[in-house]
Amino acid sequence: MTYAGDGAVRVTGVPDPRIEAPTDAIVEVVRAAVCGTDLHLVAHDDGLPAGTVLGHEFVGRIVETGPSVHAHRVGDLVVGADFTACGACWWCRRGDHWECTQRRFFGTGSAFGPPLVGTQAELVRVPYADTVLCTVPDGVPVDAAVFLGDTLATGYAAVRRAEPLPGDTVAVIGGGPVGQLTALAAQAAGAGAVLLVEPVDARRAVATREGSVAVAPEDAAATAARLTDGRGADVVVDAIGGPRGLDAAFDLVRRRGTVVSVGVHAGAWELPAAGRSPTS
């Protein structure tokens, strides 16, 4: 799938990738997904030239490896991260792969750094394959595994970054795929009540079925106050981005609470340094 310009995409033929570095692998894609980031970039295409192969969520089988790939072999079923990192630098050794100087984000043009051909294709070249790829565990279907490289990883990382204590109240702004999986990750991490804020009825129904307290935005502050004796949420994860998501997060978080934002941001936002009341 390639970007055709003017907000359009097109299925077209592209050259097969080749091994370019000893740490590369070539993966035959068996499942790819469309992420909200893809939709955002197509709608706001700065840094996304026509002809870009899109996509960064994929599962596939390795068909070729460079001589320095040691963690994987031909035939392995793998899931890929959405961006590359060398795995050896100071940043990578700390687990801060996004800061790696070798970072390249699949299928997003130059929006997040040097371009790298995307994964909505039959074959994809994966640099630093030992770091970027992970073997899919036995028994995990590809339709579930495709979430491991970006959507679930984003939600899980948000919860890990927030470091909630057992029993903490966690609020999630946005009930899209990242928000839903963030809520599940918070439950798995031992949160008490998980409040998911989402305007769409169907998404709230999914969240309710999966164990969250799901409410419309206009009911969020009152519900957070009711769940916490008026304090506000201990942790708020903004899963939509921009001023709307950040403003909502600061409206719900308690004093000395934690806000983590994993949405896609564009433009400026004014930090409410004077503070806000979560019960207002």
What are 40-56's pLDDT values in tens digits? 889 888 889 999 999 99
Residue 126 sits in a domain whose CATH number is 3.90.180.10
Question: Is the same domain home to 167 and 142?
Answer: no
Residue 155, Ramachandran bin (φ over 0: left; ψ between -120 and 50: alpha; else beta): alpha
pLDDT, tens only, 100-128: 999 999 999 998 889 999 999 999 999 99
**Given this model, what pLDDT does residue 272 score?**
79
**Given this model, what pLDDT does residue 280 score?**
46
Query: Is a pLDDT exceeding 50 seen at residue 186?
Result: yes
- pTM comes to 0.87
Residue 252 lies in a domain: yes
The b/e string for 89-115 (b: 16+ C-beta within 10 A; e otherwise) is eebbeeeebeebebbbbbbbbebbbeb
Question: Is the same domain home to 144 and 198?
Answer: no
Domain boundary among 122, 149, 176: 149
The backbone torsions φ and ψ at residue 44, rounded to the nearest 5 degrees and listed phi first, read: -130, 85
Biggest CA pair distance of the chain = 60
Question: Is the same domain home to 210 and 71?
Answer: no
Question: Is the same domain home to 8 and 90?
Answer: yes
**Given this model, what pLDDT does residue 131 score?**
97
Question: Is the same domain home to 249 and 190?
Answer: yes
Q: How many residues does the chain have?
A: 280
Q: What is the span of the domain harbouring residue 137?
A: 2-149
Question: Is the same domain home to 82 and 171?
Answer: no
Q: Counting beta carbons within 10 angstroms of the beta carbon of residue 47, is it exposed (0 to 12), middle (13 to 18) or buried (19 or more)?
A: middle
Structural tokens at position 104: 């390249």
**Given this model, what pLDDT does residue 276 score?**
60
Residue 84 lies in a domain: yes
Residue 235 sits in a domain whose CATH number is 3.40.50.720
pLDDT, tens only, 225-260: 999 999 999 999 999 988 889 999 999 999 999 999
Using an 8 Å Cβ cutoff, are 254 and 221 in contact?
no
- Structural domain count, the chain: 2
* Residue 99: C-alpha distances to residues 80, 96, 106 (Å): 18, 6, 16
